[in-house]
Structure 1
């Protein structure tokens, strides 16, 4: 076991609290208060010996001399010839009454905070300056706060500075070292982490925050997101086909979440309405804040073409008229702070579901500012409407699916239009200088190409082909490319090739792979750079198999059985359990005769979540809120941007249906711990666990307490867990009550030890350093380390 090298945030003292990593002399209390001196942050030397390393000084006595001046300070520090209380000493300066010492700087604590989001961009919430939380009144399964919660509070302090490249943090430390973890190059070997198998699913789920899981009074990225999807059941008895599963009728909407490593069902919604007004489980969902009130809403389609909006708890918000609904999306089209809902064939006001204007001849589309006028347009596979509903472009093409990206890097996006009926692809862009304000750049690329079509006669795959396309830089050359699945193959088209008139249609592909999706021939796919090497991997599921392809050349990196009758669904990538690593979410169904390849009998159904349990997959966002997800369309907490940024103009983006790593994708947590006795009330030990890394760590960090050095046969006294996610700079006290502690421990004859991540329990998060995960201290109240 290593010992701590870094001070806990370099805080010599906070009020009456010494937070140095080397020493916290004196006794702690339930509120975490203690008096310290002689730790390595103030370089003091107390009567107990050297302050460096945590063995010197006592809060109850000792004279400290920082500047060499001649003064006697009982329990204090001599600074520039004057006595300074130990908890006010800050290097060679004595802080004022209202200040605390943070990273060798006297600072005045800011406002009261519940978490770091309450503070300014450069501050964090220091909980030791506030009041502890009371136990929350948890909802069903511990999943939702239901009230009666007294939240922990703190005070805002400046975040510690990050050391520049090559800078020594010093002693006392003046900055925090860079904290990154680069996953080792390794074969793809994801494992099944979670499985909900309560029904058949044949649509693309969404991932979005709906409730306050951590009881901080907010619904934000610190909570665990929900996964929403619809299942299909049975036809109405009047059809005479009772008992047969139909994927377009009688659907139920489900919201699940991953809480404590388990799948928790939050709620389900099955409207008690006339049959034709029930949910259509073959259509898709959207989620986001559409009413301007706290919390996100969910958009779902009905069988008769209406759109329903639900509040975050699954209660009804509004129902539209029958305008048609298939692949809804959300955006603030006119930048008035009240988002709209694009159902495919209409734009609805998000506040009440009323129709803003119709979109003729379309069932899919996306909000985007392709004209550069500052407002969002409705862009369909073949047309454009402005924010008032005026049609700007009618290309005359035939197509049902689309994506967009800037393939020539001129700042203007190209539209990739897919016609499933003829398995053809077209590329066009908006150009006001051209007749009709558009220009067709390429037409009639045959997606089936040279594939051999083995789909049976009468199936969709026998004559059709082409689902929702995906845009990403597949080969890492800095230019966006396009991927499309058909009934018989998966094709990646080079973005540069698409716009090069010297390249023939049948030469525009980068690679091709045979697949089998005869049932719909129109599935989609998504993309993610799992290892952070700058090259996107493809995630695709056909009728039988879920696969991850190398985006560069199509090499199959991993596959597993996944049965589906297929429509236009696709697997997606998001962090659904808040462990700081990407997860792969895929749906399946067992209603048809489709089975796993090889055995002819096995089927799967429901929603499965795969991940790399060794932590090799990098970070990503905790949201995927609609089928036409493109990152800039939604904030991570579900808020819809007032002024949506053009995805194709953003560094590291220029993609469509691809999730990304947040900035600092290799940032990692770095936990340190400080141990002190608990002297108020029942005796015990208190371990303050603090994250001095650059990424959050999930709750549930195991803290082991020992009497004596555990590496030399010390006795384990017990253990505890952190209960909240620790963002960078944040801390939490873990207390072990010891009413029958030995005299050797309480008198300091035997040192107490604490070990973080004790026993190396399995988890996905990885620290950048582990040589600072232990601490030792005297267990004596008022004693000396």
Structure 2
């Protein structure tokens, strides 16, 4: 984008911004309060035919000056404050991306608005600068910033963006060094009694209102939830914990005893009331906890190992699927029994638009009725469209004694109700001999495109190696099982031989990396070749746990969350215990969702705020997905923010300026954007004041900061010397454009030509 064009987009999104007649300074808090009026209408306008428009203007070309200080808009002379491209806004309308629109309802964030709208914060009242980042600090009377709903602008498609659309904003895939570093840790008790040991898959879910807006939304900081055990007693009762990364510190939100440390968790809004719940297991007991750790309900008569949350019937009420049955999410009562499904996965398996349940071997309807039984043993499964024909396949794994087999099948109409696509075969038939003597194993499978050929592949860990099978060859009936192997790499799992793994495309190049932890090390592999990109000691006795990938600190970057325990093994003389969060040292990883809510996570099963979809979209039908146990930001992971800034004078109160910071990018801008006001003309000037933004800014959103300049030099107060402002995002925030981080120079004096 040309520099002049970037400036034009920043300043002409809402031409009425230039008017002083209706300025609202908003509140000030240490010279940085958020104010309204940034996009508000100024004066009265009108369409052609309104008496307020001067029609005696001859040949009026859009954008030209006309009449007494007017501007031509659509062939008529319009008051300058109401001109909007080819239109002239009427009373109650404002100019948004060259279109006159009527602001909608009051909002605090975009989820309050209708589909196709966003929450324009520059139109509302500001926050009072109260606490952000820790729900415990939320107090009655905190004033939340409000805006108005506006139509979401279209994304520009041309090479040279116009003023009526949001410019495309993406960063190219990172080609730099893969540079993970351990950033946050919890636990660390590496000697007896090993009280911080974790040997299950942590989940990531929003549990409390961190930004004090009275709602639990993706704008809050998610919690990492897990279960610990002590003294190696992972078969007994453990302790449920919820932690969060608040202001770059690990904060424990709650801990509750009585949950099995070898079972899995599931999180989401299961009762339809505000806030999310966490479901845990303990043998024949399933318990739901609210966001504070308080028990919501308990069912003591159903076997429970790895719960899955879904609206099975698509009726707006959520079910919790556990080993022994299907529970009502609101109260935990049993709706339908199941004949032992330890690790259920939920998807529409028969194409009837309703969700079904599978354990990798069998498929059940939402009422527990058996749809089909493939006849091949399986302890866990995954679902994906491996041949891309629009119909899903089920990948089943049998890790039982003497077996380490994978098979692939699908549900079909008519008897017998299924078709085996790939008969069971040994996942380690080409691997070296097992140093542990295991002849069994195979963990929960993962589905993703590892080699970038556009077709999903299947990955899993066993007793000898981590293996990835080529999806195309798996679906080729003529291909021998030995030829389906994409790659394998030797690992060490002499314990369960059944750990899981997860997948993420960290650099956004279209090829997923595999993230896996065996008994000794956490490793990241190149998806196409199996090359080990990174490893670090991460001791664990292993069950079926795996690392998860989510944005756990709301910084717009993916994070790895991994569990460890110290009771059994050591790695090079060291032990690890608890939860660790790994981030990119250079902040080069792409963005992702702020949720990973259950062991059978597959993106479309949960909204980012914890809402369970009433009508879950089949994952394999969503462009860019067709995966299982992989996280991915719908849309473009390469999307980036773009901070822009404009300035106008404050026309009431203490001498100062109103600075509008707007995000013209596709990815969110975090809070804390530094704004600095200068006397002079860019690129040089004398600093007058600084402030920071107080709210996250999503695509097209803006915040107006009211900045007092009581000590400004006389030449600034007289208008002789202009002012301008710059914006500087926090460290680690990479923009798609940086040539628009400075405003134009304007007079800080009201009613003076600028």
**TM-score band, normalised by shorter chain:** 0.7 to 0.9
Q: What is aligned with 2:128?
A: 134
Q: What is aligned with 2:741?
A: 773
Q: What is aligned with 1:196?
A: 186
Residues 133-172 of structure 1 aligned to structure 2 (within 5 Å):
133-136=127-130, 141=134, 145-169=138-162
Q: What is aligned with 1:114?
A: 108
Q: What is aligned with 1:675?
A: 647
Q: What is aligned with 1:263?
A: 250
How far, CA to CA, are the matches of 2:82 and 2:525 in structure 1?
58
Shift of residue 538 of structure 1? Answer: 0.7
Q: What is aligned with 1:648?
A: 620
How far, CA to CA, are the matches of 1:311 and 1:218 in structure 2?
15
> Are the structure 2 counterparts of residues 773 and 452 from structure 1 closer, same or farther at C-alpha, using a change threshold of 3 Å?
same
1:625 aligns with 2:566: no
Verify the 8 A CA contact 1:204 1:587 in the aligned structure 2: yes
1:253 aligns with 2:240: yes
Shift of residue 545 of structure 1? Answer: 1.3
> Are the structure 2 counterparts of residues 736 and 266 from structure 1 closer, same or farther at C-alpha, using a change threshold of 3 Å?
farther
Could you tell which deviates more after superposition, 223-232 or 151-160?
151-160
How far, CA to CA, are the matches of 1:471 and 1:615 in structure 2?
26
1:575 aligns with 2:551: yes
> Are the structure 2 counterparts of residues 361 and 165 from structure 1 closer, same or farther at C-alpha, using a change threshold of 3 Å?
same
Moved >6 Å (runs of 4+): 24-28, 34-38, 65-72, 78-83
How far, CA to CA, are the matches of 1:103 and 1:296 in structure 2?
37
1:490 aligns with 2:466: yes
Shift of residue 25 of structure 1? Answer: 11
Verify the 8 A CA contact 2:135 2:212 in the aligned structure 1: no
Q: What is aligned with 1:762?
A: 731
Verify the 8 A CA contact 1:194 1:608 in the aligned structure 2: yes
> Are the structure 2 counterparts of residues 280 and 97 from structure 1 closer, same or farther at C-alpha, using a change threshold of 3 Å?
same
- Partner SS, residue 706 of structure 1: strand
Residues 340-379 of structure 1 aligned to structure 2 (within 5 Å):
340-379=319-358
1:185 aligns with 2:172: no
Q: What is aligned with 2:8?
A: 6
CA-to-partner distance for each residue in 1:17-55, whole Å, 9 max, x for gaps? 428xxxx899873345489999xxxxxxxxxxxxxxxxx
CA-to-partner distance for each residue in 1:545-595, whole Å, 9 max, x for gaps? 111111112111222222222211111111222222222211122222x22
Alignment gaps of 5+ in structure 2: 27-34, 43-59, 189-195
Q: What is aligned with 2:476?
A: 500
Q: What is aligned with 1:237?
A: none
Q: What is aligned with 1:18?
A: 18
How far, CA to CA, are the matches of 1:68 and 1:636 in structure 2?
43
Could you tell which deviates more after superposition, 765-774 or 188-197?
188-197
CA-to-partner distance for each residue in 1:518-559, whole Å, 9 max, x for gaps? 122111001112222222211111111111111112111222
- Partner SS, residue 716 of structure 1: strand
Q: What is aligned with 2:30?
A: none
> Are the structure 2 counterparts of residues 9 and 161 from structure 1 closer, same or farther at C-alpha, using a change threshold of 3 Å?
farther
How far, CA to CA, are the matches of 1:135 and 1:299 in structure 2?
35
- Partner SS, residue 7 of structure 1: helix
> Are the structure 2 counterparts of residues 374 and 9 from structure 1 closer, same or farther at C-alpha, using a change threshold of 3 Å?
farther
- Partner SS, residue 5 of structure 1: helix
> Are the structure 2 counterparts of residues 165 and 484 from structure 1 closer, same or farther at C-alpha, using a change threshold of 3 Å?
same
> Are the structure 2 counterparts of residues 219 and 13 from structure 1 closer, same or farther at C-alpha, using a change threshold of 3 Å?
same
How far, CA to CA, are the matches of 1:68 and 1:398 in structure 2?
72
Q: What is aligned with 1:468?
A: 444
> Are the structure 2 counterparts of residues 580 and 79 from structure 1 closer, same or farther at C-alpha, using a change threshold of 3 Å?
closer
Verify the 8 A CA contact 1:579 1:698 in the aligned structure 2: yes
> Are the structure 2 counterparts of residues 264 and 782 from structure 1 closer, same or farther at C-alpha, using a change threshold of 3 Å?
farther
> Are the structure 2 counterparts of residues 255 and 695 from structure 1 closer, same or farther at C-alpha, using a change threshold of 3 Å?
same
How far, CA to CA, are the matches of 2:399 and 2:126 in structure 1?
59
Verify the 8 A CA contact 1:341 1:347 in the aligned structure 2: yes
> Are the structure 2 counterparts of residues 683 and 573 from structure 1 closer, same or farther at C-alpha, using a change threshold of 3 Å?
same
- Partner SS, residue 325 of structure 1: coil
Residues 502-541 of structure 1 aligned to structure 2 (within 5 Å):
502-541=478-517
Alignment gaps of 5+ in structure 1: 39-64, 234-243, 271-277
Shift of residue 203 of structure 1? Answer: 0.9
Shift of residue 711 of structure 1? Answer: 5.1
- Partner SS, residue 184 of structure 2: strand
Verify the 8 A CA contact 1:28 1:676 in the aligned structure 2: no
CA-to-partner distance for each residue in 1:93-145, whole Å, 9 max, x for gaps? 54322222333333332333323333333333333333223343668x46664
CA-to-partner distance for each residue in 1:734-755, whole Å, 9 max, x for gaps? 3444443333433334433322
> Are the structure 2 counterparts of residues 696 and 566 from structure 1 closer, same or farther at C-alpha, using a change threshold of 3 Å?
same
- Partner SS, residue 7 of structure 2: coil
Aligned residues: 718
How far, CA to CA, are the matches of 2:587 and 2:465 in structure 1?
32
> Are the structure 2 counterparts of residues 180 and 144 from structure 1 closer, same or farther at C-alpha, using a change threshold of 3 Å?
farther
Q: What is aligned with 1:300?
A: 280
Q: What is aligned with 2:261?
A: 281
TM-score, length-normalised on structure 1?
Answer: 0.84
How far, CA to CA, are the matches of 2:235 and 2:468 in structure 1?
30
Task: Output the aligned Cα RMSD.
Answer: 3.1
- Partner SS, residue 10 of structure 2: coil
Q: What is aligned with 2:570?
A: 595
CA-to-partner distance for each residue in 1:630-674, whole Å, 9 max, x for gaps? 122112222212222232343322221111231133222111111
Shift of residue 463 of structure 1? Answer: 4.0
How far, CA to CA, are the matches of 1:102 and 1:467 in structure 2?
52
CA-to-partner distance for each residue in 1:189-225, whole Å, 9 max, x for gaps? 1233322236222111111122222333332222222
Verify the 8 A CA contact 1:18 1:37 in the aligned structure 2: no
CA-to-partner distance for each residue in 1:3-26, whole Å, 9 max, x for gaps? 852333634444xx428xxxx899
Residues 639-718 of structure 1 aligned to structure 2 (within 5 Å):
639-678=611-650, 680-708=652-680, 712=684, 714-718=685-689
Verify the 8 A CA contact 2:557 2:591 in the aligned structure 1: yes
- Partner SS, residue 404 of structure 1: strand
Verify the 8 A CA contact 1:71 1:81 in the aligned structure 2: no
How far, CA to CA, are the matches of 1:480 and 1:70 in structure 2?
58
Could you tell which deviates more after superposition, 97-106 or 314-323?
97-106
- Partner SS, residue 668 of structure 2: coil
How far, CA to CA, are the matches of 2:529 and 2:669 in structure 1?
35
> Are the structure 2 counterparts of residues 161 and 435 from structure 1 closer, same or farther at C-alpha, using a change threshold of 3 Å?
closer
CA-to-partner distance for each residue in 1:277-310, whole Å, 9 max, x for gaps? x2111211101111112221111112x3211001
How far, CA to CA, are the matches of 1:88 and 1:494 in structure 2?
60
How far, CA to CA, are the matches of 2:701 and 2:592 in structure 1?
21
